[in-house]
Amino acid sequence: MLELGSAGEAGAGTGEVPVLRDGEPVALLRSTDFWKEGSVAVVGDREWVLERRRGGVLVGRWAVDPGDSARFRAVQTSMWKGSWRADLEGTVVDLEVSSWWKGTHRCSTGGTTVAEGGSTGGWSPRPTLTAGDDVPLDAQVFLLWLLLVLNRRQYGVVHAVAIGGVVGGSS
C-alpha cells in the first residue's frame, strides 16, 4: 500500500511529502502550486511534472519531456458520479467512487480492479493506494496524486459550503 506521509517525514525536505510503502519512502511529492494542483514527483532517478491543463485534464510527464507532452493523462468522465478515466502510457484505467461516505475509490481496467484508493483517516486524512504488482510504481504515484487532487477539491467544496452556510445563516 502507498500512502502520503507527513511533510518533512522520512527524510523529506521542507515543502516535500514522502510517498511511503509500508513505512518506507519510495517516492517524493513536492507541491509546485497548490491552487493550480501542480506537483513534482520524484520516483527513483526520474522526475515527473504533474499538472492540470486547460479543460481540466490532469497530466504527468517526465521533466525532460517537452512541456506540451503527456505520458499519463486523466479526464473526468462524470461530474455527478465523480468518475475519471486515466491513460497510463496506453493502459486505460477507470477510477470511480466506491463509497462517498468512506472516501474510497476503485481503479479498474476492463472491469478488473487493479487498485483501490482510500485514506489514512483521522483529523488530517491522507490518500492511500493499494495496487497490484502489475501496476508500475510511476503509475501508482500518478494515481495517488490524482486521489490527492480529488481530495483537495472535495475539501474545498465542503469548506466553501460550510463557510457559505455560516455566512448565509448569520444574517
Collapsing DSSP states into helix, strand and coil, what is residue 50?
strand
Q: How many domains does the chain have?
A: 1
Place of cell 483501490: 116
Q: Is residue 72 part of a domain?
A: yes
Question: Rounded mean pLDDT of 144-151?
Answer: 92
Which residue from 92, 129, 97 is spatially nearest to 111, judged by alpha carbons?
A: 92
Please name every residue paired with 2 in a beta bridge, in sequence order, or none if there are none. Answer: 21, 129
Q: Which residue has the higher pLDDT, 91 or 23?
A: 91
Q: Is residue 23 part of a domain?
A: yes
Say if residues 135 and 114 touch (Cβ distance below 8 Å): yes
Question: Rounded mean pLDDT of 101-108?
Answer: 90
Q: Is residue 171 part of a domain?
A: no
Predicted local distance difference test score (pLDDT) of residue 170: 47
Which residue from 22, 25, 4, 9 is spatially nearest to 126, judged by alpha carbons?
A: 4
Q: Out of 11-25, 58-72, 119-133, 147-161, which region has the weakest mean confidence (pLDDT)?
A: 147-161
Which residue from 84, 56, 58 is spatially nearest to 71, judged by alpha carbons?
A: 58
Q: Is residue 156 part of a domain?
A: yes
With a cut of 80, say whether residue 135 has pLDDT above it.
yes
Q: Are strands 2-4 and 104-109 parallel, antiparallel or unpaired?
A: unpaired
pTM comes to 0.85
Q: Is residue 104 part of a domain?
A: yes
Q: Is residue 80 part of a domain?
A: yes
Q: Which domain holds residue 82?
A: 2-166
Which residue from 135, 145, 81 is spatially nearest to 113, judged by alpha carbons?
A: 135
Quote the cell numbers at residue 5: 506521509
Predicted local distance difference test score (pLDDT) of residue 36: 59
Q: Is residue 53 part of a domain?
A: yes
